[in-house]
Copies of this chain bind each other. A is one copy, B any other.
Amino acid sequence: MIKARVTVTLKNGVLDPQGKAIEGALGSLGFSGIGGVRQGKVFDLELAETDKAKAEETLKAVCEKLLANTVIENYSIALS
């Protein structure tokens, strides 16, 4: 079994209202000097596959088809 973590983040230039809201909230809470907040998603998955190369290939297909919207999002795959 291979455990994998997929991280999906917004591409540069894509507006992130959630991140902006967090920045605003941080200011209200008294945290200063924090900016550039961007929110993304993370997925932990377990694959029955034991071959790392095959697992990575499968995960790429999963990201392209389901987990990420590649028009506006980047994804990265980490196997462990």
Contact = CB atoms under 8 A, between A and B. Distances in A.
Nearest to A48: B33
Given A37-B44, A42-B42, A45-B37, A61 B31 contact: yes
A34 B31 CA distance: 40
Interface of A: 3, 7, 9, 19, 22, 25-26, 29, 31-49, 58, 61-62, 65-67
Contacts of A65: 29
Contacts of A66: 22, 25-26, 29
B67 A22 contact: yes
Given A58-B31, A62-B26, A45 B36 contact: yes
A38 B62 CA distance: 14
